[in-house]
C-alpha cells in the first residue's frame, strides 16, 4: 500500500477533526470569468494514477490528508455537491423534457426526481444543473403571433401561429400573405391590438376585412394613462366602462356619455383619452352594432381566455424545442375539447324547460353550448307580455313588458318587413345582429301563441 505522508502544514487526526491551512494558486481561465484553485502541496501528497491501498478507509485517509493540506474538506455525505460528481443521466434528461411538455419547470422536475430516487444525494445533481439543462427563450428575441377565431360552440379556436424575429410592417405583410394562402380567403373581421405595423399590413393584405381594435387591450391601459388614484377613488372607471362595455348605445348616446365623463373629471387635456376617442369607430361597439361579430366585441374575455390558454403551457424560459412541444400539446388539448363539444351536440339532448316548440327547435338547430345561452332567453318569454303596438310607415313597433323589471319599464322592439321577409332587432339588447342569437323579447311580440311559435325568421346560423 502507499505510505501516508503528512504535510507539516496540515494534519489529519481523524475523520471528524481536520485542521486546514489553505494553500494554493488561484487562476482565471482565458476567455472566461471562471476561477480555478490549484493546490500548492508537497508532491508526495498529490494523488497519482495507479496508487493502491489495502482498503477504502486507507484511501479515504490519504485523500483527506491531501485535502487538508490543500485547504478543502472532504465528507462522503457531501460528495454529490462536487462538480465532478454531478452529471445528468439520460433518464434524468428524459424526465425533465417529459415534464416540460406539461409545463413542469426544472425546479419542480428536480423535486419530483428527489422524491422518486429517495433523497437529494440520490439524484446526483442540483437544481441549478436542471436549470442549466434548459436555455432561455429570450435569447431568441422572437414574438409569438397567434391567429384565433371563434368556433360554433362560442369557444376560442386557434387557426395557426407564428414566431417572428421582428415586428415591422413588411414582416406582418409576409405573415398575413402566408395565412391567406393557407386559409383560402380573407376573414370578415380582424381584431388586433394597436400595433401600427399590423394596422398597415392589414390594410394592404386584408383589404376586404373589417379591422377592429381589441377593447381589452385599449381599456387595459386606462389606469396607467389617467392615474391609479382617479380610477380607484372615484366612480370614473365605472362610468367610463358603462359606456364602453356595452353594445346597447347608439353612437350619439356614446358621445354624449363620453363628453360628460371627460368634463366631470376635467380630463380634456389628457392626450391618450383624446387619441382613443378619435379612433372610437374602430373599437367602440356603438359604431358597429349592426355588424355580425360572433361575440368578438367582448374581447376582454376572449383575450384573457387566450392569454390563460397559452400561459398554461408556455414559459418565457422555454427553449425553442420546448415551445413547439408545448404548442402542439395546447392545440391537441383544444382539438380534443372541440371534438368533445361536437360529440355532445350530436349525441346528447339538453333538458328542455318549457313546452314551447321554439325551445325544441332551438335545441335541434344550435350547438349545445349556444343553445344553453338561448334557452335562458326562451325561459324568460314566460315573464314577458305585449302591451301595445304601433304601425309606422311599414314598420311595426311592439312594446314588451318584462315582469322581472320595474313596473314602469318597457322594451321597444321592431319587426321590419322587407321584400316579404321579416327581420327583427331588439331595441333593448341590440344583440341579435351581433351574436346570431336571440333574446327573450321577440317571440311574443307577434301576439301568436308562443307554444306554437317556430324559429322561421328568428333562426340564425350557429
DSSP label of 171: H
pLDDT score, position 305: 66
Query: Is 268 exposed, middle or buried (CB count within 10 Å of its CB: 0-12, 13-18, 19+)?
Result: exposed
104 lies in the same domain as 178? no
- How far apart, in whole angstroms, are the C-alpha atoms of residue 282 and residue 288? 9
Question: What value does the CA radius of gyration of the chain take, rounded to a whole number of Å?
Answer: 35
125 lies in the same domain as 149? no
> Does residue 399 lie in a domain region?
yes
- How far apart, in whole angstroms, are the C-alpha atoms of residue 212 and residue 100? 36
pLDDT score, position 53: 83
**Residue predicted with more confidence, 47 or 393:** 47
Asked if 413 and 426 count as a contact pair (C-beta separation under 8 A), the reply is yes
339 lies in the same domain as 380? no
Q: Comparing C-alpha atoms, which of 97, 93, 34 is closest to residue 323?
A: 97
pLDDT in tens, 283-340: 998 888 777 765 555 554 565 666 667 766 666 666 777 788 888 888 888 899 999 9
> C-alpha dihedral over 413, 416, 422, 427, to 10 degrees?
-30
- How far apart, in whole angstroms, are the C-alpha atoms of residue 72 and residue 334? 56
- How far apart, in whole angstroms, are the C-alpha atoms of residue 261 and residue 244? 12
Bridge partners (DSSP) listed for residue 413? 398, 426
- How far apart, in whole angstroms, are the C-alpha atoms of residue 364 and residue 346? 9
Residue 201: is its pLDDT beyond 60? Answer: yes
Residue finishing a domain among 115, 134, 153: 134
Asked if 409 and 402 count as a contact pair (C-beta separation under 8 A), the reply is yes
> Does residue 295 lie in a domain region?
yes
321 lies in the same domain as 407? no
176 lies in the same domain as 324? no
> Does residue 74 lie in a domain region?
no
Q: Comparing C-alpha atoms, which of 118, 119, 96, 94 is closest to residue 108?
A: 96
> Does residue 125 lie in a domain region?
yes
pLDDT score, position 178: 95
Percent of the chain with pLDDT over 70: 65
Looking at every residue in the chain, the average pLDDT score rounds to 74
130 lies in the same domain as 147? no
pLDDT score, position 255: 96
**Residue predicted with more confidence, 241 or 433:** 241
pLDDT in tens, 71-115: 665 555 444 444 444 567 778 777 877 777 676 777 788 888 888
Q: Comparing C-alpha atoms, which of 383, 378, 428, 389 is closest to residue 402?
A: 383
pLDDT score, position 44: 77
- How far apart, in whole angstroms, are the C-alpha atoms of residue 272 and residue 218? 10
Asked if 430 and 289 count as a contact pair (C-beta separation under 8 A), the reply is yes
CB atoms within 10 A of CB 102: 11
> Does residue 369 lie in a domain region?
yes
- How far apart, in whole angstroms, are the C-alpha atoms of residue 337 and residue 305? 15
273 lies in the same domain as 223? yes
Asked if 69 and 9 count as a contact pair (C-beta separation under 8 A), the reply is yes
110 lies in the same domain as 206? no
> Does residue 35 lie in a domain region?
no
207 lies in the same domain as 244? yes
439 lies in the same domain as 381? yes
Alpha helices in 101-168 (DSSP H): 106-117, 120-123, 127-132
Strand 411-418 and strand 395-402: the pairing is antiparallel
pLDDT score, position 352: 93
Percent of the chain with pLDDT over 90: 21
pLDDT score, position 289: 75
Which domain, by its residues, includes 329? 310-345
Residue 248: is its pLDDT beyond 50? Answer: yes
164 lies in the same domain as 259? yes
Q: Which residue has the cell 392545440?
A: 331
In sign, the C-alpha dihedral spanning 92, 94, 95, 100 is positive
DSSP label of 353: -
Residue finishing a domain among 76, 99, 134: 134
Residue 447: is its pLDDT beyond 60? Answer: no
> Does residue 48 lie in a domain region?
no
171 lies in the same domain as 283? yes
pLDDT score, position 91: 80
> Does residue 58 lie in a domain region?
no
How many separate domains does the chain show?
Answer: 4
Amino acid at each position: 500500500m502507499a505510505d501516508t505522508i503528512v504535510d507539516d502544514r496540515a494534519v489529519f487526526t481523524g475523520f471528524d477533526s481536520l485542521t486546514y491551512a489553505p494553500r494554493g494558486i488561484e487562476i482565471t481561465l482565458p476567455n472566461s470569468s471562471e476561477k480555478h484553485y490549484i493546490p500548492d502541496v508537497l508532491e508526495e501528497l498529490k494523488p497519482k494514477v495507479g496508487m493502491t491501498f489495502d482498503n477504502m478507509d486507507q484511501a479515504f485517509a490519504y485523500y483527506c490528508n491531501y485535502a487538508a493540506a490543500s485547504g478543502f474538506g472532504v465528507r462522503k455525505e457531501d460528495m454529490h455537491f462536487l462538480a465532478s460528481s454531478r452529471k445528468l443521466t439520460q433518464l434524468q434528461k428524459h424526465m425533465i423534457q417529459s415534464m416540460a411538455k406539461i409545463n413542469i419547470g426544472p425546479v419542480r422536475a428536480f423535486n419530483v426526481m428527489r422524491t422518486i430516487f429517495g433523497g437529494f444525494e440520490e439524484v446526483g445533481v442540483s437544481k441549478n444543473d436542471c436549470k442549466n439543462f434548459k436555455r432561455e427563450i429570450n435569447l431568441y428575441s422572437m414574438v409569438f403571433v397567434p391567429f384565433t377565431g371563434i368556433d360554433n360552440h362560442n369557444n376560442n379556436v386557434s387557426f395557426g401561429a407564428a414566431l417572428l424575429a421582428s415586428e415591422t410592417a413588411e414582416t406582418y405583410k409576409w405573415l398575413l400573405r402566408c395565412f391567406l394562402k393557407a386559409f383560402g380567403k380573407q376573414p370578415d373581421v380582424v381584431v388586433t391590438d394597436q400595433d401600427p405595423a399590423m394596422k398597415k399590413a392589414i390594410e394592404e393584405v386584408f383589404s376586404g376585412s373589417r379591422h377592429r381594435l381589441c377593447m381589452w387591450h385599449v381599456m387595459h391601459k386606462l389606469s396607467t394613462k389617467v392615474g391609479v388614484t382617479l380610477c380607484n377613488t372615484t366612480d370614473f372607471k365605472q362610468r367610463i366602462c358603462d359606456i364602453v362595455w356595452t353594445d346597447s348605445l347608439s353612437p350619439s348616446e356614446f358621445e354624449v356619455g363620453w363628453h360628460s365623463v371627460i368634463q366631470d373629471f376635467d380630463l380634456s387635456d389628457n392626450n391618450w383619452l383624446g387619441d382613443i376617442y378619435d379612433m372610437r369607430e374602430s373599437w367602440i361597439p356603438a359604431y358597429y352594432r349592426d355588424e355580425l361579430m360572433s361575440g368578438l366585441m367582448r374581447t376582454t374575455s376572449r383575450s384573457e381566455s387566450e392569454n390563460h390558454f397559452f400561459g398554461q403551457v408556455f414559459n418565457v424560459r422555454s427553449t425553442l424545442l420546448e415551445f413547439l412541444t408545448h404548442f402542439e400539446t395546447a392545440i391537441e388539448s383544444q382539438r380534443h375539447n372541440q371534438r368533445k363539444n361536437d360529440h355532445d351536440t350530436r349525441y346528447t339532448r339538453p333538458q328542455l324547460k318549457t313546452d314551447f316548440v321554439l325551445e325544441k327547435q332551438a335545441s335541434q338547430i344550435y350547438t349545445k353550448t349556444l343553445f344553453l345561452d338561448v334557452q335562458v332567453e326562451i325561459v324568460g318569454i314566460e315573464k314577458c307580455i305585449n302591451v301595445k303596438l304601433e304601425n309606422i310607415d311599414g314598420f311595426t313597433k311592439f312594446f314588451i313588458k318584462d315582469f322581472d323589471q320595474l313596473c314602469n319599464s318597457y322594451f321597444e322592439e321592431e319587426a321590419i318587413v322587407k321584400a316579404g321577409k321579416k327581420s327583427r332587432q331588439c331595441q333593448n339588447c341590440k344583440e341579435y345582429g351581433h351574436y346570431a342569437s336571440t333574446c327573450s323579447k321577440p317571440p311574443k311580440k307577434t301576439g301568436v301563441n308562443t307554444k306554437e311559435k317556430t324559429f322561421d325568421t328568428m333562426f340564425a346560423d350557429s
